[in-house]
């Protein structure tokens, strides 16, 4: 009898191991949102059950769609649609002949935990201060790092120099203004657009409880570093890193000098860095005004001085000076950074020179509205102009921006609805950091939703989030500690060097990279479809590194789907 019970129990789906053939958001779904899962099986399956995790009871039953060929992954995908089921709880899908899925939640604040971890991961990137992730993540800590700073010969100066503040860029310990700029700007925008709901969320960082929203407390750490990178003449140095990448050691064990690195020739500062800096400091000026007037003024003054420098040096490009081998973030065109700076400065101050510059230069960018990325921030400039809702705005410019954004969002939303995995990604989008591209598609859609509210934009934005949290060919959650089957081996020095098996929390993997630009990816079969070009291997810096410019749009999107 006992044996019989045991046999019966194991035959029940809730006792079985989850199958990666069923792909869904492992965090889950908000009750009022569409709810789709994907099934990729050798033999097409016919039906599915939604079952309560607690007792395996079927609460919803549906038919699977016919199988669709997916160009991104090469998978044959069937859809399980349980959108009409709205009851809060914890569930799994059971597909007869295939297996059961990972468990997931349906609830209004289903992304709250993911937001907390993803935003708090910036604290785990802090440079120049001891970091301790606290009782929930014991041993996840390091001592004050990279305090030995100096001017690199390429900066036109010499000698020692203070080194403090900022976030480590990624899996490496460099700090790069260009990438910091878009990342910090994106987070500041999350505060501006969704700040009411975010202000209540305590991030358990050293400043928590000081009366300032924690998202602003965390961002301040990086702003303080960016401010140290501005020269007396207003220009901003491109980056601060060691000459070469460190080995896989903890931050405090990387004792190489942290150099302020310049272009190697007059004027030593770079225009893209200075433009990003001006834009971000202009946002900071308005974001911090209610909390710290002196800091808001400091940021605003720094932005204005950076702008002045930019008018004299509009296109000084940065390339790594010899013998520097760290990240280059070498942009070819700084006119988009300058447009963004003009728009943010105008939005914060109403200054006529900024407005004139914007109006004389925005049209080129209206023709190419696109998701932002570190070398391409023109749309940020357009959108902030439209989101400013200032009385002195030019009606023609507003209409053009609005219409171009709606056109872009319509095309993306339509494409997303037709994609078997319900993602905005096209095969060519699987570049280095493709998961950041997916998140930035959602950012575009959520901004469009601000300018012209439309359910389709929100749904498509949410679809890309589902992809990142498990609804993909690997059934992997690309955010550490979120969902069940999250990836384990990011190219992230603290995760690799701390002696703890599990990686640091809240980190988004760079994602599939069709360019196979690292040794681990090169070991994969060459003809894999782009979505399959990924491996959970620490050696894979082109597919499985983490970076602040990928986590920032993730935070933005998660914030967009938190309840008010
Ligand atoms: O760790 C580095 C990572 O942050 C960069 O994105 C990547 C590409 O620039 O380079 C990584 O460093 C590798 C170096 O380029 C080559 N030798 C191995 C290093 C660590 O894997
Ligand atoms: O995100 C960057 C990607 O767009 C580039 O193709 C790649 C190679 O230049 O560099 C990426 O940025 C890395 C930076 O150079 C160094 N820190 C880690 C970044 C993420 O891999
Ligand atoms: Zn550091």
CA pair distance 524, 510, nearest whole angstrom? 17
CA pair distance 552, 444, nearest whole angstrom? 13
Residues 6+ apart with CB under 8 A from 268: 154, 155, 156, 231, 235, 237, 262
- 393-409 b/e with 16+ CB inside 10 Å = b? beeebbebbbebbbebb
The whole-model pTM stands at 0.97
Say whether pLDDT at 1 is over 50.
Answer: no
Residues serving a catalytic function are: 172, 491, 536, 545
Say whether pLDDT at 6 is over 60.
Answer: no
Note the pLDDT tens digit of each residue in 444-482: 999 999 999 999 999 999 999 999 999 999 999 999 999
Helices 395-418 and 434-451 meet at what angle, rounded to 10? 130
3-state secondary structure 513-550: CCCCCCHHHHCCCCCCCHHHCCCCCCCCCCCCECEHHH
Token couple for 125: 């990137």
Domains of the chain (ranges, CATH numbers): 2-106 (2.60.40.10), 112-476+544-560 (1.50.10.10)
Q: Which residue has the higher pLDDT, 11 or 233?
A: 233
Say whether pLDDT at 399 is over 70.
Answer: yes
Atom number of ligand 1 nearest to Cα 174: 4
Query: pLDDT band at residue 12, thresholds of 50, 70 and 90?
Result: low
| Cα 126 to middle of ligand 3, angstroms | 7
The mean of the pLDDT values for the chain is 97
Note the pLDDT tens digit of each residue in 348-398: 999 999 999 999 999 999 999 999 999 999 999 999 999 999 999 999 999
Say whether pLDDT at 4 is over 90.
Answer: no
pLDDT at position 16: 84
| Maximal C-alpha separation, the chain | 87
Note the pLDDT tens digit of each residue in 472-498: 999 999 999 999 999 999 999 999 999
Atom number of ligand 1 nearest to Cα 539: 21
Ligand 2 contacts CB of residue 547 (under 6 A): yes
Which of 174, 541, 548 best tests ligand 1's pocket when mutated (most atoms within 8 Å of CB)? Answer: 541
Ligand 1 contacts CB of residue 496 (under 6 A): no
What counts of helices (H) and strands (E) characterise the chain?
Answer: 16, 17
Residue nearest to atom 12 of ligand 1 (CA): 245
Ligand 1 contacts CB of residue 170 (under 6 A): yes
CA pair distance 450, 498, nearest whole angstrom? 42
Helices 271-288 and 214-228 meet at what angle, rounded to 10? 140
Ligand 1 contacts CB of residue 327 (under 6 A): yes
Q: Are strands 89-95 and 104-106 parallel, antiparallel or unpaired?
A: antiparallel
Which of 170, 172, 432, 433 best tests ligand 1's pocket when mutated (most atoms within 8 Å of CB)? Answer: 172
Note the pLDDT tens digit of each residue in 190-228: 999 999 999 999 999 999 999 999 999 999 999 999 999
Ligand 1 contacts CB of residue 171 (under 6 A): yes
| Cα 517 to middle of ligand 1, angstroms | 11
Judge contact between 444 and 475, C-beta under 8 A. Answer: no
pLDDT at position 15: 62
Token couple for 163: 């080194």
The CA–CA distances, whole Å, from 475 to 20, 336, 385, 469, 478 equal 5, 37, 39, 8, 9
């Amino acid at each position: 009898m006992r044996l019989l019970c045991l046999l019966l129990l194991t035959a029940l789906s809730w006792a079985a191991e989850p199958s990666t053939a069923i792909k869904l958001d492992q965090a889950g779904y908000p009750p009022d949102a569409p709810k789709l899962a994907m099934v990729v099986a050798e033999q097409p399956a016919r039906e599915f059950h939604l079952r309560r995790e607690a007792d395996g009871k079927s609460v919803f039953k549906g038919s699977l769609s016919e199988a669709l060929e997916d160009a991104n992954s090469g998978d044959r995908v069937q859809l399980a649609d349980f959108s009409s089921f709205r009851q809060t709880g914890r569930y799994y899908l059971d597909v007869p002949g295939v297996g059961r899925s990972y468990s997931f939640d349906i609830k209004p604040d289903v992304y709250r935990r993911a937001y907390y971890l993803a935003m708090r991961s910036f604290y785990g990137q802090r440079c120049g201060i001891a970091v301790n992730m606290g009782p929930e993540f014991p041993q996840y800590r390091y001592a004050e790092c990279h305090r030995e700073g100096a001017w690199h010969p390429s900066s036109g100066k010499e000698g020692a120099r203070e080194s403090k503040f900022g976030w480590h860029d990624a899996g490496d310990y460099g700090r790069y203004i260009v990438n910091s700029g878009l990342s910090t700007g994106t987070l500041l925008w999350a505060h501006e657009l969704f700040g009411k709901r975010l202000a209540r969320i305590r991030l358990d960082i050293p400043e928590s409880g000081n009366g300032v929203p924690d998202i602003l407390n965390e961002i301040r750490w990086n702003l303080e570093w960016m401010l140290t990178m501005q020269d007396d003449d207003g220009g901003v140095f491109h980056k601060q890193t060691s000459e070469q990448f460190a080995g896989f050691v903890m931050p405090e064990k990387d004792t190489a000098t942290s150099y302020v690195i310049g272009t190697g020739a007059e004027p030593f500062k770079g225009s893209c860095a200075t433009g990003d800096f001006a834009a971000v400091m202009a946002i900071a000026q308005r974001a911090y005004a209610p909390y710290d007037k002196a800091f808001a003024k400091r940021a605003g003054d720094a932005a204005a001085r950076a702008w002045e420098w930019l008018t004299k040096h509009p296109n000084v490009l940065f390339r790594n000076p010899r013998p520097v081998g760290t990240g280059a973030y070498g942009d070819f065109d700084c006119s988009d950074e300058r447009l963004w700076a003009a728009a943010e400065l105008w939005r914060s101050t109403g200054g006529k020179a900024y407005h004139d510059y914007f109006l004389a230069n925005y049209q080129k960018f209206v023709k190419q509205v696109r998701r932002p990325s570190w070398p391409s921030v023109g749309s940020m400039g357009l959108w902030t102009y439209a989101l400013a809702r200032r009385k002195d705005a030019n009606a023609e410019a507003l209409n053009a921006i609005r219409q171009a954004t709606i056109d872009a969002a319509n095309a993306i939303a339509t494409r997303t609805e037709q994609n078997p995995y319900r993602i905005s990604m096209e095969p060519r989008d699987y570049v280095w950091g493709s998961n950041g591209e997916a998140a930035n598609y959602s950012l575009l859609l959520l901004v469009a939703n601000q300018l012209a509210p439309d359910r389709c934009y929100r749904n498509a934005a949410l679809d890309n989030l589902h992809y990142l949290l498990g609804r993909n060919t690997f059934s992997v959650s690309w955010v550490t500690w979120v969902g069940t089957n999250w990836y384990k081996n990011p190219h992230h020095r603290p995760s690799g060097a701390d002696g703890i098996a599990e990686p640091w929390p809240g980190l988004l993997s760079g994602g599939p990279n069709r360019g196979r630009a690292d040794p681990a990816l090169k070991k994969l079969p060459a003809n894999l479809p782009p979505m399959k070009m990924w491996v959970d291997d620490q050696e894979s810096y082109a597919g499985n590194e983490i970076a602040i410019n990928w986590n920032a749009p993730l935070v933005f999107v998660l914030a967009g789907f938190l309840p008010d």
